[in-house]
Amino acid sequence: MRDSCRLQLDAFRALPGSNLPDGARRLLDHGRDMTSTLADFHASDLRVEVLQVGESEDFYLREVFLRTTATDRVVEYGVLAVALNQFNAVQRTALTAGRTPLGAILHKFEIPFDSSPLGFFAVPASLLPSIPAPSPVATECFGRFNRLAKPSGEPLAWILEILPSS
């Protein structure tokens, strides 16, 4: 997963959730999936723009933008590793098609899951040139590293989620 991300590990500055700016904290510091959280916040369904894909025997990896369908605005940069053995063939086909966000797939197939943010961080906005910055003075983007798992504990996915600067 680290190899799929365009950012160096030393670019991340760890933060407690309580130190995130208010807007970022509302969007990141919770136990829900980001797909539905961002869709609700932006009042729009989301679509995936796949930047790159990888697959191994056990994992489906992808680097993506989540965009609103209403305005095509980038609302998240993400890198995810999905544990393929936790999904049936129909669900895996939906995942690897690369059109639907993971959270939407989990809800569509009524797959129960727990979302557990493992940590929060800031990263310089200048290191994410492909994420449009709404504000020319924005210097940081905020994000989280999240783990999605079945209620019984089997991991479904690990996701690096970064919001555009605001």
**How confident is the prediction along the chain (166 residues), in pLDDT tens digits per residue?**
556 566 667 778 999 999 999 999 999 999 999 999 999 999 999 999 998 899 888 999 999 999 999 999 999 999 999 999 999 999 999 999 999 999 999 999 999 999 999 999 998 887 765 665 555 556 888 999 999 999 999 999 999 999 987 6
What residues make up the domain containing 23?
2-162
Report how many domains make up the chain: 1
- With beta carbons less than 8 A apart as the criterion, state whether 147 and 29 touch: no
- Supply the CATH number for residue 45's domain: 3.40.1410.10
pTM here?
0.88
Give me the numbers of helices (H) and strands (E) for the chain, helices first please.
4, 7
Phi, psi of 6 (to 5 degrees): -85, 0
72 Rama class: left (phi>0) / alpha (psi -120 to 50) / beta: left
- With beta carbons less than 8 A apart as the criterion, state whether 159 and 79 touch: yes
